[in-house]
Structure 1
Amino acid sequence: MMRDFEALDRFLAERARMPFAWGSAANDCISFYAAAARAMADHDPIEGLKWSSEIGAARVIRRLGGFEAAVSSRMTPVAPAFAMRGDAAAVEHPEHGLSLMLVEGETLVAPGERGLERHPRAAMIIAWTLPHG
């Protein structure tokens, strides 16, 4: 699957100041990554999944076997050391256990209260890549 990094850069610029908001069509960590995947690779890793709240997101994740199993059912796990630009990364989250972020390179990015937040790549504990094909 080819990745259009110029489209990814445009997507990140558009979302730079968009705050976190729960919902599969909003800007939580999972919907943010899915929108990035659609922008750069025309692939929707959450196709067919819907939620509009934190409780709804938790239900979907629980129904799919937990956070790691849910993401692994839609993407291919890779060792964090091999995660490339455009891949997904899980980091520890104090309230939710894990949170999904986009690998930019040396940083990870996801929506926060005031727009995009970045963390060092070293925060990554699990990684996934988009399926090939």
Structure 2
Amino acid sequence: MRDHDALLAFIASRAVMPFDWRCNDCVRYAAGAIVAQGGESPLRGLRHWATLTGAVRALRRLGGMEAAVSARLTAIAPALAQRGDIAGVPDDMLGLRLMVVEGETLVGPGDNGNCRQKRNAMTHAWSGLE
């Protein structure tokens, strides 16, 4: 069962935390949201970088962000994504950036804390919890 209150608390805890390749990138944010809801972090093996270059290299070895996440989470149709699921949105640097489905919006790390996008920006989705 998903703990939506814990998810909202997690999102609030990141409200002013800026993006950082070492502790608050999109993979760590998505993993934190899964753990906050009562799950285990199946994304653990993706977090071995501290720079954009390191992230690009690691993801390239894993076949890209989509393949790396799909190997660890259950892919679902974006239209079926629920609050707390993981969304993929197009990204110029990584090909795909991870965000968390908040409801009508997606949320993830930004330069000055949480950034949001409309749900229709989502091109991929995964469920991190049963």
Shorter-chain TM-score above 0.5: yes
1:64 counterpart residue number: 62
The alpha-carbon deviation at position 117 of structure 1 amounts to: 0.5
Total equivalences in the alignment: 129
Segments ≥4 residues shifted beyond 3 Å: none
The alpha-carbon deviation at position 102 of structure 1 amounts to: 0.3
Give 5+ residue unaligned stretches, structure 2: none
Give 5+ residue unaligned stretches, structure 1: none
Output the CA distance in 1 between the equivalents of 2:124 and 2:43. Answer: 18
Output the CA distance in 2 between the equivalents of 1:98 and 1:36. Answer: 18
The alpha-carbon deviation at position 114 of structure 1 amounts to: 0.5
One-letter amino acid matched to 2:38: A
One-letter amino acid matched to 1:105: G
Q: 2:36 aligns with which of 39, 43, 47?
A: 39
Stretch moving more, 96-105 or 81-90: 96-105
Output the CA distance in 1 between the equivalents of 2:110 and 2:59. Answer: 20
Q: With the length of structure 1 as denominator, give the TM-score of the two structures.
A: 0.90
The alpha-carbon deviation at position 40 of structure 1 amounts to: 1.0
CA contact (8 A) 2:86 2:101 kept: yes
The alpha-carbon deviation at position 17 of structure 1 amounts to: 0.5
Output the CA distance in 1 between the equivalents of 2:114 and 2:55. Answer: 20
1:104 counterpart residue number: 102
The alpha-carbon deviation at position 70 of structure 1 amounts to: 0.4
Output the CA distance in 2 between the equivalents of 1:20 and 1:82. Answer: 28
The alpha-carbon deviation at position 115 of structure 1 amounts to: 0.5
2:77 counterpart residue number: 79
The alpha-carbon deviation at position 76 of structure 1 amounts to: 0.5
% of aligned pairs identical? 52
> Pairwise CA RMSD of aligned residues?
1.3
2:8 counterpart residue number: 9
Output the CA distance in 1 between the equivalents of 2:94 and 2:63. Answer: 15
The alpha-carbon deviation at position 62 of structure 1 amounts to: 1.3
Q: With the length of structure 2 as denominator, give the TM-score of the two structures.
A: 0.92
